[in-house]
């Protein structure tokens, strides 16, 4: 083992059964022959979703049903964790330690749920507290399983590992102080050859109030740890072999991509590939740390490596991806052309409301089209009406659309790629409703009607990648 650190992140699938947790242990053991290892884990498979669901459900129940519902949930989650613990921890003492911790956490959760039920209120702050329990429990299982095979390991919540965030519940962002706190909290363990097992996704603000980094955010935790610990690599270990050239549910000919640049990976994640959390790329890129995506079933395979270098491959296009659940919002109005600063006003209103604009295109001064998530439609329309408090305007919404993004660094220097792509779209009887303006050099993205989207993805994949 050298002094270099590697961060290994295991997602919900990896912590789905005792058998998979044993695979985690084997991977950690092997990596420890080479480097010092830091582990980040998600909640047990499906648990975060269940926590979200019960919070909503219990806040709507009549008072008389609240305590039973909380107890029933306690029993179910306890049974799931107990089953998993028994499958991966043989030593009775270690098993009991893990179960005691889990039971104490679940008791706290049960009481919290009762509170939510009686007060009939669930807000982002309460929700973050409730969903933090998933990872708070799973760290004890993984850390116990490592101890069970003789590897010294120590469980830590995100906050205990030094991840301190702002108080934007449900999408909190780390504060600069983490540069010190992560090192201060983890280095003493790492130096003693203990494997820190850090809860992904969850953190706390400066007061210690629970926050989360956004669904899927444990990848982000891993990247933050890697950046501040100056790791040699961060690995995202999943149930797939790496990043694929398309969603295998759409085209069965999807291929494993060996290498991607940070920019390509970020665009892929932003435009719908569920392979990683897009925000995780930023810390890795800032510190120039390779991100490797690989399978828990084939840990010796290379998977996909994401690095700074833009590898231009012969096929030019590396991946084609599709983003669902989006809508186009068109704003038309003479007022816009005449009122200076109108764009600024609208966009700062989006910022205030935390609305993420996925694509923008303005065909004329008095016409602006935006793409947002379907769940943001109402909020966006409100923001526009607030920002545009003068002038004539008309807003319309199209919600039967999808974004298709074609990704590959080679496209920038190669003539006629866009023309070929658009011809494929036309050959599929689809028309392009919107094209991104000022899109990055590594992607061409456009919007088509939902009903054509899968055929277009298939056809682009076939023409550019399968040949
Ligand atoms: N457990 C969290 C979620 O399901 C975070 C993660 O798995 O990355 O969203
Ligand atoms: Mg995930």
For 377-387, write each residue's pLDDT tens digit. Answer: 999 998 888 76
Q: Residues of the chain with pLDDT > 90: what percent? A: 80
pLDDT of 389 over the 70 cut: no
Q: For a ligand 1 pocket test, name from 43, 213, 234 the mutation site with the most ligand atoms within 8 angstroms of its C-beta.
A: 43
CA pseudo-torsion sign 228, 232, 233, 234? negative
What pLDDT, on the 0 to 100 scale, is given for residue 227? 98
What pLDDT, on the 0 to 100 scale, is given for residue 337? 58
What pLDDT, on the 0 to 100 scale, is given for residue 365? 65
Residue 413: DSSP 8-state: G
Residue in the structure block whose two tokens are 């109402």: 378
CA pseudo-torsion sign 436, 440, 444, 448? negative
Distances from the Cα of 407 to the Cα of 267, 318, 455, 463, angstroms: 7, 6, 17, 14
d(CA 385, CA 285): 37
| Of 346 and 312, more confident | 346
Domain with CATH 3.30.2130.10 in the chain: 319-466
Ligand 1, residue 221: give the atom nearest the CA: 8
* 345 Cβ closer than 6 Å to some ligand 1 atom: no
**Whole-structure pTM value:** 0.92
Ligand 1, residue 42: give the atom nearest the CA: 7
Q: How close is the Cα of 43 to the center of ligand 1, in Å?
A: 6
Phi-psi region of 208 (alpha: psi -120 to 50; beta: other; left: phi over 0): left
pLDDT tens column, 318-337: 999 999 999 999 988 756 65
What is the mean predicted confidence (pLDDT) over 95-108?
98
pLDDT tens column, 348-367: 889 888 898 999 887 666 78
CATH of 319-466, one of 2.60.40.10, 3.40.50.970, 3.30.2130.10, 3.40.50.720: 3.30.2130.10
pLDDT of 452 over the 80 cut: yes
d(CA 420, CA 202): 44
Nearest residue to 273 via CA among 216, 203, 214, 330: 216
* 134 Cβ closer than 6 Å to some ligand 1 atom: yes
* 217 Cβ closer than 6 Å to some ligand 1 atom: yes
Domain with CATH 3.40.1160.10 in the chain: 5-239
pLDDT of 373 over the 70 cut: yes
375-403: burial string, b at 16+ Cβ within 10 Å, e else: ebbebbbebbeebbeeeebeeeebeebbb
Helical (H) or strand (E) element with 284: helix 281-286
Q: What pairs with residue 328 in β-bridges?
A: 371, 398
Among 94-98, 343-347, 387-391, whose mean pLDDT is lowest? Answer: 387-391
Q: How close is the Cα of 408 to the center of ligand 1, in Å?
A: 28
What pLDDT, on the 0 to 100 scale, is given for residue 309? 82
pLDDT tens column, 228-259: 999 999 999 999 999 999 999 999 999 999 99
d(CA 182, CA 199): 13
* 138 Cβ closer than 6 Å to some ligand 1 atom: no
- Please identify every residue whose CB atom is under 5 Å from ligand 2, which is an ion: 11, 216
Say if residues 275 and 293 touch (Cβ distance below 8 Å): yes
* 212 Cβ closer than 6 Å to some ligand 1 atom: no
pLDDT of 312 over the 80 cut: no
What is the mean predicted confidence (pLDDT) over 164-185?
97
What pLDDT, on the 0 to 100 scale, is given for residue 75? 98
Topology, domain 5-239 = Carbamate kinase (3.40.1160)
CA pseudo-torsion sign 339, 341, 345, 351? positive
Among 115-119, 158-162, 261-265, whose mean pLDDT is lowest? Answer: 261-265
What pLDDT, on the 0 to 100 scale, is given for residue 363? 64
pLDDT tens column, 428-440: 999 999 988 555 6
Q: How close is the Cα of 238 to the center of ligand 2, in Å?
A: 8
Strands 359-364 and 367-373: what pairing? Answer: antiparallel
* 200 Cβ closer than 6 Å to some ligand 1 atom: yes
Average pLDDT, the chain: 93
pLDDT of 412 over the 60 cut: yes
Q: How close is the Cα of 63 to the center of ligand 1, in Å?
A: 30
Residue nearest to atom 5 of ligand 1 (CA): 216
What pLDDT, on the 0 to 100 scale, is given for residue 416? 86
d(CA 350, CA 247): 31
* 48 Cβ closer than 6 Å to some ligand 1 atom: yes
CB under 8 Å to 273, separation ≥6 — which residues? 243, 244, 247, 319, 321
d(CA 371, CA 402): 10
CA angle 401-406-410, nearest 5°?
160
Query: If you write DSSP's letter for every residue of 36-60 in order, what string do you get?
Result: EEEEEE-PSTTHHHHHHHHHHHHHT
What is the mean predicted confidence (pLDDT) over 82-94?
98
d(CA 10, CA 127): 23
d(CA 173, CA 279): 10
* 216 Cβ closer than 6 Å to some ligand 1 atom: yes
pLDDT tens column, 120-135: 999 999 999 999 999 9
What pLDDT, on the 0 to 100 scale, is given for residue 336? 60
pLDDT of 392 over the 60 cut: no
Helical (H) or strand (E) element with 203: strand 202-205
Q: How close is the Cα of 45 to the center of ligand 1, in Å?
A: 9
pLDDT tens column, 191-232: 999 999 999 999 999 999 999 999 999 999 999 999 999 999
Say if residues 413 and 445 touch (Cβ distance below 8 Å): no
What is the mean predicted confidence (pLDDT) over 18-26?
98
* 42 Cβ closer than 6 Å to some ligand 1 atom: yes
């Amino acid at each position: 083992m050298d002094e270099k650190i590697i961060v290994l992140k295991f997602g919900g699938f990896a912590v789905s059964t005792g058998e998979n947790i044993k695979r985690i242990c084997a991977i950690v053991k092997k990596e420890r022959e080479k480097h010092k290892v830091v582990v980040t884990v998600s909640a047990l498979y499906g648990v975060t979703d269940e926590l979200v669901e019960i919070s909503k459900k219990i806040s709507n129940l009549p008072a008389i049903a609240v305590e039973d519902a909380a107890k029933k949930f306690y029993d179910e989650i306890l049974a799931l964790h107990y089953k998993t613990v028994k499958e991966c921890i043989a030593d009775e003492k270690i098993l009991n330690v893990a179960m005691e911790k889990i039971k104490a956490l679940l008791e706290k959760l049960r009481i919290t749920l009762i509170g939510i039920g009686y007060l009939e209120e669930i807000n982002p702050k309460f929700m973050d507290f409730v969903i933090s329990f998933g990872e708070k429990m799973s760290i004890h299982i993984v850390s116990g399983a490592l101890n069970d095979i003789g590897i010294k390991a120590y469980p830590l919540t995100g906050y205990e590992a030094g991840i301190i965030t702002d108080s934007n519940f449900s999408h909190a962002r780390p504060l600069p102080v983490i540069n010190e706190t992560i090192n201060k909290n983890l280095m003493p363990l790492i130096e003693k050859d203990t494997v820190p097992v850090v809860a992904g996704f969850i953190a706390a603000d400066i007061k210690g109030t629970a926050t989360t980094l956004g669904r899927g955010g444990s990848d982000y935790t891993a990247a933050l740890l890697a950046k501040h610990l100056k790791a040699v690599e961060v690995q995202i270990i999943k149930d797939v072999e790496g990043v694929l050239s398309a969603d295998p549910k759409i085209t069965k000919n999807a291929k494993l991509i060996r290498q991607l640049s940070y920019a390509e990976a970020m665009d892929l994640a932003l435009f719908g590939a569920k392979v990683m959390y897009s925000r995780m790329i930023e810390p890795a890129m800032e510190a120039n740390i390779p991100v490797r995506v690989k399978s828990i079933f084939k840990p010796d395979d290379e998977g996909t490596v994401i690095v700074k270098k833009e590898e231009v491959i012969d096929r030019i296009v590396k991946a084609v991806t599709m983003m669902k659940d989006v809508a186009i919002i068109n704003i038309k109005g003479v007022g816009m052309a005449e009122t200076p600063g109108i764009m600024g006003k609208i966009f700062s209103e989006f910022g205030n409301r935390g609305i993420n604009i996925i694509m923008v295109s303005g065909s004329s001064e008095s016409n602006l089209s935006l793409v947002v998530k379907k769940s943001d439609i109402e909020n966006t329309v409100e923001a526009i009406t607030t920002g545009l408090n003068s002038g004539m305007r008309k807003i319309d919404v199209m919600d039967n659309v999808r974004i298709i993004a074609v990704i590959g660094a080679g496209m920038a220097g190669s003539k006629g790629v866009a023309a070929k792509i658009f011809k494929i779209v036309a050959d599929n009887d689809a028309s392009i409703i919107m094209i991104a303006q000022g899109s990055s050099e590594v992607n061409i993205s456009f919007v088509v009607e939902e009903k054509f989207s899968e055929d277009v993805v298939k056809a682009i994949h076939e023409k550019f990648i399968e040949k």
